[in-house]
Amino acid sequence: MSAAWLRTASRAAGRYGVLLALVAFAGAPFYWMLLTAIKQNRDLYVGAYERTHVPWILNDPPTLEHLRLLFTGTDFPRWALNSFLVLIAVALITVVVAVPAGYSLARLSGRWGERLGVGLFFTYLIPPTLLFVAFARLVSALRLENSLLSLVLVYPTMTIPFCTWLVMGFVRSVPWDIEEQAMVDGWSRFGVLLHVAPRLVVPAVLTAVMFAFTLVIQEFVYALTFISSVKQMTVSLGVPVALVRGDVYHWGALMAAALLTSLPLAIVYNAFADRFIEGLTLGAVKG
């Protein structure tokens, strides 16, 4: 055995070792969610003092009891519906407001547009936890407590800056030729806007909708601040806050809900990660 072979082998082993450790750290909570969601209670609630009872495997046959409880015995279906309704409204508002703005910043405004774009981007950095005290007051003044409308009104403040920025970056990357040709062909600027530009921004709109989707499903702070009635909650609020009865956590149903909610998000993130990164970092990092 040569030294070179040994070095290559140990390097590969080191790489897989590091990879395994990282994957375990990132993935263990999700594996534990899955196990908890399908374990029978007598397999689940064995104190961790019991060295002989290995919690990381199924010691009894799996059960769908927790899932059944989640869908028939809790408000989870209602929360999913609420999240969906908010999502549709927020996605619509975002697209209608952010797409024209992004196009405008890319094509129709000069230096002041650039500055406004950067300014708009920075409002994205202002977090819900800074504004919630003010919103608590505004929402009660508007009589929107416990209403999904409060979320529909406020969530676009987080999606619009990001999506405007995203659309702007995207339109800039499309050559001006197509629109110019349309203008030579006799379209007015406005005509170009109505007939040519929409086709150019389709991928950006898709990304914007996906971003709105992930934001609405993930958001917790505003929902926690505005909504206290269990029936009006969204998934990411209801699951951790309302699946607890008194001091009793329904861990099986809770983890089933967490897993079911995370999966679609994981798929979206996996597909759109690079574009999200580009949008989130002012286009400074190209994914």
Partner 1 sequence: MMRRATLADRPGGLGALLLAPALLYVFLLVGVPFVLVILLSFSDSTAGSLTFHWVGFEQYARILADPVFRRAAWNTVLVTLGSQALAIVLATAAAQVLRSAFRGRRLARFVLLLPWAVPVSLGAIAWTWLFDSTFSVINWTLRAVGLLHGWLYWLGDPTLALVAIVLVQAWRMFPFATLIVLAGMTTLPQEMLEASVVDGAGFWRRLLEVELPLLSPVLVVAVLFGIANVATDLGVVYLLTGGGPANTTQVLPTLAFQRGILGADLGQGAAVAVFMLPFLIVVAVAMLWLARHAEVGRR
Site for partner 1 in 146-205 (CB under 8 A): 153-154, 156-157, 160-161, 164, 186, 188-191, 193
Whichever of 4 and 133 has its CB closer to partner 1, that residue is 133
Could you give the C-alpha distances from 38 to 31, 67, 68, 166, 202, in angstroms and in order?
Answer: 11, 8, 11, 40, 41
Distance (Å, whole) CA 204 – CA 100: 12
- State the minimum distance, in angstroms, from the CB of residue 266 to partner 1: 4
Q: Any idea which residue has 């929902």 for tokens? A: 223
- State the minimum distance, in angstroms, from the CB of residue 113 to partner 1: 7
Total of residues contacting partner 1 (CB under 8 A): 108
- State the minimum distance, in angstroms, from the CB of residue 283 to partner 1: 9
Cα Rg for the chain, rounded, in angstroms?
Answer: 24
Site membership for partner 1, residue 208 (CB under 8 A):
no
- State the minimum distance, in angstroms, from the CB of residue 183 to partner 1: 9
Which residues have CB under 8 Å from 85's CB, separation 6+?
Answer: 148
Which positions from 220 to 239 touch partner 1 by CB under 8 A, shown as an x/- string? xx--xx---------xxx-x
Bridge partners for 205 per DSSP: none
List the one residue from 56, 57, 175, 199 that touches partner 1 (CB under 8 A).
Answer: 56
Site membership for partner 1, residue 82 (CB under 8 A):
no
List the one residue from 3, 4, 57, 134 that touches partner 1 (CB under 8 A).
Answer: 134
List the one residue from 6, 13, 118, 178 that touches partner 1 (CB under 8 A).
Answer: 118
List the one residue from 58, 126, 142, 206 that touches partner 1 (CB under 8 A).
Answer: 126
Distance (Å, whole) CA 235 – CA 255: 13
Could you give the C-alpha distances from 157 to 91, 125, 212, 263, in angstroms and in order?
Answer: 12, 11, 11, 26
Which residues have CB under 8 Å from 181's CB, separation 6+?
Answer: none
Which positions from 88 to 107 touch partner 1 by CB under 8 A, shown as an x/- string? --------xxx-xx-xxx-x
250, 67 Cβ separation under 8 angstroms: no
Whichever of 75 and 219 has its CB closer to partner 1, that residue is 219
Distance of CA 176 to the CA centre of its chain: 32
- State the minimum distance, in angstroms, from the CB of residue 93 to partner 1: 8
Region near partner 1 per CB under 8 A, out of 12-20, 57-65, 72-80, 201-209: 12-20
Q: Any idea which residue has 């987080």 for tokens? A: 158
Site membership for partner 1, residue 242 (CB under 8 A):
no
**DSSP string across 241-278:** HHSEETTEE-HHHHHHHHHHHHHHHHHHHHHHHHHHHH
List the one residue from 38, 44, 151, 227 that touches partner 1 (CB under 8 A).
Answer: 44
Site membership for partner 1, residue 13 (CB under 8 A):
no
